[in-house]
Structure 1
Amino acid sequence: MSALTPHPFTVNPIRTRDDLQDALVSLLDSLALFTSPGGALLKLGHTATHYDERAAQLEGFSRPLWGVASLLAGGGSYDGVQRWIDGFKNGTDPLSEEFWGYTRGRDQRMVEMAAMGYTLSVAREHIWDKLGEEGTKNLSTWLAGINGKEMPNTNWLWFRVFANLGLSKVGSPYSKDQLKADLDHLDTFYLGDGWSRDGPPGVRQLDYYSGSFAIQFAQLIYSKLAEKDDPERCEEYRDRARKYALDFVRYFDAEGRAIPFGRSMTYRFAMASFWGALAFADVLPPAPLDNWGVIKGLLLRNIRWWASQGSAILSPQGILTIGYAYPSTYATENYNSPGSPYWAFKAFVPLALPSTHPFWSTPELPHPIYANPSLPRSVALHHPGHIMSHHTSHAFLLSSGQACHYPLRHGAEKYGKLAYSAAFGYAVPTGALGLDQAAPDSTIALSEDSGESWRVRREVKEAAIEGTPEEGGPWLRAVWAPWKDTEVETWLVPPQEGTPHWYLRVHRISSPRDLRVSDAGFSIYGQGADGRALAPAADLLMSLDVTEGTRVYGHAAILKSSAGVSGVLDLIPPEKKQQPRDGQVLPLDANANIIFSRSAMPTLVDEHAGEANRDRWLVTGVFAMVGKDITGAQVAKEWSKLPKLPKGIERLLSGG
């Protein structure tokens, strides 16, 4: 394959079981060039992690096993499987130059044992039975080394569950007591309605680790593999999945894109692996998901969308890169090695099913929310603290209350923004100087040094979903403190009937400080049709009717590109007697947005004079349309439909 030839994955239609097998094989073939002579190590790049290089190269070996084992278990074949057989022999042999090393407490090697335990459970005859007496003994000893070691009190405990489960499936010594203790403790993470947090009480992380990346995925795989030995728990896991699916479907749009939120976005199509795990475990959720064609569509559309990103997610040699929609380390974590993206191969588990399974034999169906107009367009999900919006083709969520429980790189941007979009993604800081490097899209940001540095919401003091339907609810309310003497209270109102392209923010800033305030909308692709930077959008604004009666409420900023339209409008009521804020369209530093390497955001910029006016209210309309063929007339028509504040929030503004 030359540098000018598209990688087979990027042109695969991904409609059938054979297509998915071909997609997997094409990605596996690309790994051969980077495999060590003994098969145990894959060096896929040169960037570092907080753990050692040997463990990083072990990741490259282990994570593709989610796909390899599934392919073999479903009756498929792969000519390169010997690479993994050899790798198991050499990686677990203490005398080999490619020995992985025995695990210590809180060791990355523990993480990689999950895929191995799954492999032993579903593809024993293809891998384990080929290792020989010494190979099986060494692998058994190496995997069992995870028992009795300290582990993070998170989804990591599932990795030990799968290590012991795999050992039990091949008749090797394992710790039954450790297996049960880990499962019992993991069950304490459960919150109800299908949702689990990623840790003990006090941890408020309900991201893709709660679903496709780890907890729900692991529960479903376990429910199939351990059904005979642990039937009651397995049925409980299946019941959780049925409930969770009804919420999780809201994180995907009609094209298959998932809403990026939280950490580990470089795992890409693992975001949709929950849907494949449902099929693996033979768990069909209730209506409107009670058709295998719906479940198949949710998985395959997501993988197709990633394939449509073309070479942007692959190196010239066909290796999945660190990044999201293109190679970048700005938004990644210090545990992302060059092999980490292959967690995405969890999406291939349905290949373990025979072609006769209804998941494969049923025709693919569209996203149920878009296919059924009677379903609610906005839904409040109380456990994650999200309000999900599917009023138009733009799927996004409003968020309050979550934060990573440790100092995660760009944790504020991954959990603390006000909104997250499937189509537009989000931005992370690229530096520490200026608004363009801070890149605070979809959030409010405050500066006390004339805009050199900015603070955004990371942790909240209070967060709740409030508002009855009679008051115009629900909406989100949250309070946070950028400094000890400063408090920001924010209300987030989802799109309302008649104004589907708008959502509303209301902020109350209480501070004695003199501050500069940015309140930005979605950042989107920042280039025009000619491939040049976008021209000033003043002409677009001038053509928009933003009046209510005969009164223009305030200033605005808007940009339009092939990705769609993004805008913000100052909607502070005249009775507040405040100067309208200045609208700006700001090009962001390159590679800030995780989807668009060149991006820009609309924002409203304001000066808060703390001594003169300690409390200041801001009301912002956030506007968005998705699509490359939107006309100016369409934008003007939708923009002119100004959103209205719910009655309950109007009373707050009026002091009632």
Structure 2
Amino acid sequence: MSSTNKPTTTNTTTPEGVPGLLLGHSTPHPFSLIPLSSRSSVQRLLTTLLDPLLPFFSPLKSRIRIPGATAVRFDQTASEIEGLARPLWGLACLLAGGGEYEYKDWWIEGIRNGVQEEEGGEEFWGWPRDNDQRMVEMCPLGFALAVVPGLWEGLGERGQRGVERWLGERVNEKNMPNTNWLWFRVFANLGLKKNGGKFSQERLDADIEHLNTFYRGDGWSNDGPEGIHQMDYYSSSFAIHFLQLLYAKLAGEDEPERAAEFKKRAQIAALDLVHYYDKEGRAIPFGRSVGYRFAMVSFWGALAYADVELPAPLTWGMVKGIVLRHLRWWQTQDNIFSPAGTLTIGYSYPNMYMAENYNSPGSPYWACLAFICLAVPETHPFWTSSEEDPWPLIPAIKPLPQPGHIMSNLGGHCMLLSSGQACSYPMKGTHAKYGAFAYSSAFGYSVPPGCFTLEQYALASQLGFSDDGGEYWKTRRLSTSRLVTKENNPVLVSDWTPYPDVFVTTYLLPPTEAAPNWHLRAHHIRAEGGREVMTADGSFAILNERTPDGRYLDLYDPEKCEGTFPKLIGNYDLNTPEAWAPAKQGAFAVSRAGAVGIRALEIEKEGREAMLVNADPNSNLVESRTTIPTLQHRIKKGERWWYVTGIYAKPAGEGVAKESYLDGWERGPEVPGWLREVIEKGE
């Protein structure tokens, strides 16, 4: 977005005279126009998200039908309850911190009418069933009741009794998923408890004690019981750490030991979680529900809210910088809003391919968790730090045993190598959200918009197998993994089977100071049955647009510092010699987003070829048009192969000249001696 753009929004009004918003061609959203530095500027930022919702309230204010007629696995009423409840995270934090919002009474009226079943109950929310989505939305309501001055009183006696029944009596009798959801019932009871309402201390304690069984050590909780390995943003900012910290703040006087434990876990985890955010303010997209966008940074505001003592070397100026830089980066993502100014389902642009089956049009407003910083007093050092301190002095490479990650802060972006994680059920694109080898803050992961050919599978940072000539592809989803040390460096090893008779062992090696833009992956593949397979080993996906006109990239031009090698051939027509190159020569793509590439580093027999996959549009989270440098091969029945692959990535950024995008490409990384020995021994 150009800084010279002028706001040209069209104002609309509801029958009640409430202002709305209509965005036209090249129109900046008010969200993007607020310079962020102070508490008051973040307060204004929140109101730019709340204002566009006003025209979509129901007559009795108990629901918000956000534009977008997409269906989800739950009913339409629950979807519209989401529309009301999720923005309440931000509004509650604003009011708890002493801020004001002109239309706050609309939410109070909506809550009062939503819980009324008897007379005047035409907008009743409905009683929760087992595993009901309504239980999720009880969490922001319970939090708001606990922190917003006058909210309970504003409901009136009839509204209070309705909230007691809807929020407490019924939910305490129902089954809930054995995941972070249990925290939502905790906050339903806590909100009632803080106001003298009817609640269940027995259920509250039992839920917390069970949630404590998810704790694995090193500050990390799993999102589920034994047998599930899922440690994504739900373990930190979306739910578990976030809600532990809020609970420590709100119940700490009555439960000092429990509060101290939750704070201690957060102190430990902070030194791991800082690796997930880069100097540009971007977070690493990883796992499910990343459509919650800036909620990924809420952990840091919750630290301040809960008065956690920061572990060295972190300072409150650093934490403030993490939060504000993150929000500023989202201010540059012009395409996250609908024409009505509401948040869309997607990441950097509207995208249903990456959405979960529980993402209704109201779901993205879980992003309002990020505004927990507004509940932090203005006298707290989070706000009084006059400067955003420099980026934390953190290790360039750090292994994280609990999530099974190796974190890297080399090469101009934050990156994680991952092994072993998987969602507890085979959700849409789960192999891309958890099973890819690498995830980057600069180059988001890609999901399949279809299931036919590599263009649709979009195998960014994945190794795919096809036994039907390249129509259907299988990748890593479930695996067993281990974190080992080789020559004083961390290495992730995973074992997985794309087919019952094809076995793969993958080694993931992080970048080094000598080759900061490269990471290595080695695959030992054993086709031990009667199956012949094709393979496709993909690098990161990168923007596939020419700078002058946005058309697909041409063959690389060193004068323009843009293009691909070999030539990118679109529309599935790959029977062209210039589209292929020897695997040791590799393939790369350079655009205004930076450069990515892939090269074979085999030390035994060779056989792979390099090319570029013209990924189907809207497969990548960050860029809607991408290409993926890829190595392809065919493994015959009974063969064993070792692939050693170098993955190059250098993102664009402030102070990074386009002439330097390929500076590290020609040199390439060294294959370490220990890996050579493993390959030579045939292990």
TM-score, normalised via structure 2 length? 0.90
Cα shift at 1:473: 2.4
* Superposed CA offset, 1:182-238 (max 9, x none): 011101110111000001111100000000000000000000000111110000000
The equivalent position to 1:171 in structure 2, one of 196, 214, 235, is 196
| 1:251 to 2:273 alignment | no
* Residue number in structure 1 paired with 2:329: 305
Distance 1:191 1:631, change over 3 A: same
Cα shift at 1:254: 0.5
Distance 1:635 1:120, change over 3 A: closer
Q: Distance in 2 between matches of 1:412 and 1:62?
A: 31
* Residue number in structure 1 paired with 2:434: 415
Q: Distance in 2 between matches of 1:226 and 1:553?
A: 59
Contact 1:325/1:596 (8 A) holds in 2: yes
Cα shift at 1:578: 2.2
Cα shift at 1:637: 3.1
Cα shift at 1:407: 2.0
The farther-off stretch of 92-101 and 232-241 is 92-101
Q: Distance in 2 between matches of 1:286 and 1:219?
A: 18
The equivalent position to 2:401 in structure 1, one of 362, 382, 392, is 382
The equivalences for 1:251-330 within 5 A come to 251-289=276-314, 291-310=315-334, 312-330=335-353
| 1:515 to 2:540 alignment | no
Cα shift at 1:124: 3.9
Query: Gapped runs of 5+ residues in structure 1?
Result: 544-551
* Residue number in structure 1 paired with 2:31: 9
Q: Distance in 2 between matches of 1:102 and 1:136?
A: 16
Q: Distance in 1 between matches of 2:280 and 2:367?
A: 18
The farther-off stretch of 379-388 and 10-19 is 10-19
Whichever residue aligns with residue 95 of structure 2, its letter is L
Q: Distance in 2 between matches of 1:637 and 1:263?
A: 34
* Residue number in structure 2 paired with 1:463: 481
| 1:584 to 2:611 alignment | yes
Q: Distance in 2 between matches of 1:502 and 1:641?
A: 10
Q: Distance in 2 between matches of 1:35 and 1:284?
A: 41
Cα shift at 1:633: 5.0
1:322 partner SS: coil
Contact 1:557/1:567 (8 A) holds in 2: yes
Contact 1:288/1:368 (8 A) holds in 2: no
Cα shift at 1:630: 5.5
2:173 partner SS: coil
* Residue number in structure 2 paired with 1:569: 599
The equivalent position to 1:94 in structure 2, one of 117, 120, 126, is 117
Contact 1:243/1:285 (8 A) holds in 2: no
Contact 2:420/2:435 (8 A) holds in 1: yes
The equivalent position to 2:51 in structure 1, one of 19, 24, 29, is 29
Cα shift at 1:365: 2.5
The equivalences for 1:183-262 within 5 A come to 183-262=208-287
Q: Distance in 2 between matches of 1:210 and 1:179?
A: 20
Aligned residues: 633
| 1:644 to 2:666 alignment | no
Whichever residue aligns with residue 448 of structure 2, its letter is P
Q: Distance in 2 between matches of 1:341 and 1:637?
A: 39
Distance 1:542 1:31, change over 3 A: closer
Whichever residue aligns with residue 39 of structure 1, its letter is K
Whichever residue aligns with residue 439 of structure 2, its letter is Y
Q: Distance in 1 between matches of 2:485 and 2:378?
A: 48
Cα shift at 1:655: 1.1
Distance 1:451 1:537, change over 3 A: farther
Q: Distance in 2 between matches of 1:236 and 1:487?
A: 43
Q: Distance in 2 between matches of 1:565 and 1:6?
A: 28
* Superposed CA offset, 1:1-59 (max 9, x none): 32244221111122210111001111111100111111111111210110111001000
Cα shift at 1:582: 1.3
Cα shift at 1:75: 1.1
Q: Distance in 2 between matches of 1:632 and 1:343?
A: 37
Whichever residue aligns with residue 230 of structure 1, its letter is E
1:325 partner SS: coil
Q: Distance in 1 between matches of 2:194 and 2:440?
A: 42
Contact 1:569/1:604 (8 A) holds in 2: yes
Contact 2:594/2:661 (8 A) holds in 1: no
2:291 partner SS: helix
Distance 1:158 1:572, change over 3 A: same
Cα shift at 1:641: 2.4
Distance 1:236 1:542, change over 3 A: closer
Cα shift at 1:367: 5.5
* Residue number in structure 2 paired with 1:153: 178
Cα shift at 1:472: 5.2
* Superposed CA offset, 1:236-272 (max 9, x none): 0000000000000001111111100000011000000
Q: Distance in 2 between matches of 1:541 and 1:92?
A: 59
Cα shift at 1:401: 0.4
* Residue number in structure 1 paired with 2:156: 132
* Residue number in structure 1 paired with 2:491: 475
Whichever residue aligns with residue 324 of structure 2, its letter is L
* Residue number in structure 1 paired with 2:16: none
* Residue number in structure 2 paired with 1:363: 386
* Superposed CA offset, 1:259-297 (max 9, x none): 0000001100000000010111111321121x1111111
* Residue number in structure 2 paired with 1:547: none
Distance 1:542 1:276, change over 3 A: closer
* Residue number in structure 2 paired with 1:18: 40
Cα shift at 1:607: 1.3
Q: Distance in 2 between matches of 1:643 and 1:153?
A: 44
Whichever residue aligns with residue 372 of structure 2, its letter is V
Contact 1:59/1:339 (8 A) holds in 2: yes
Whichever residue aligns with residue 221 of structure 1, its letter is L
Displaced runs of 4 or more, over 4 A: 538-543, 628-633
Query: Gapped runs of 5+ residues in structure 2?
Result: 1-8, 11-22, 567-581
Whichever residue aligns with residue 332 of structure 2, its letter is S
* Superposed CA offset, 1:559-580 (max 9, x none): 000111000011112xx2323x
1:78 partner SS: coil
- Calculate the aligned-residue CA RMSD, in Å: 1.6
Q: Distance in 2 between matches of 1:433 and 1:351?
A: 47
The farther-off stretch of 506-515 and 15-24 is 506-515
Q: Distance in 1 between matches of 2:227 and 2:459?
A: 27
The share of aligned pairs that are identical, in percent, is 47
The farther-off stretch of 564-573 and 353-362 is 353-362
1:566 partner SS: strand
The farther-off stretch of 90-99 and 642-651 is 642-651
TM-score, normalised via structure 1 length? 0.94
Q: Distance in 2 between matches of 1:293 and 1:176?
A: 38
Q: Distance in 1 between matches of 2:271 and 2:587?
A: 36
* Residue number in structure 2 paired with 1:560: 590
| 1:68 to 2:91 alignment | yes
Q: Distance in 1 between matches of 2:417 and 2:637?
A: 29
Contact 1:254/1:366 (8 A) holds in 2: no
Contact 1:103/1:146 (8 A) holds in 2: yes
Contact 2:456/2:616 (8 A) holds in 1: yes
The equivalences for 1:400-549 within 5 A come to 400-460=419-479, 462-468=480-486, 471=487, 473-511=489-527, 512=529, 513-530=531-548, 531-537=550-556
Cα shift at 1:538: 8.5
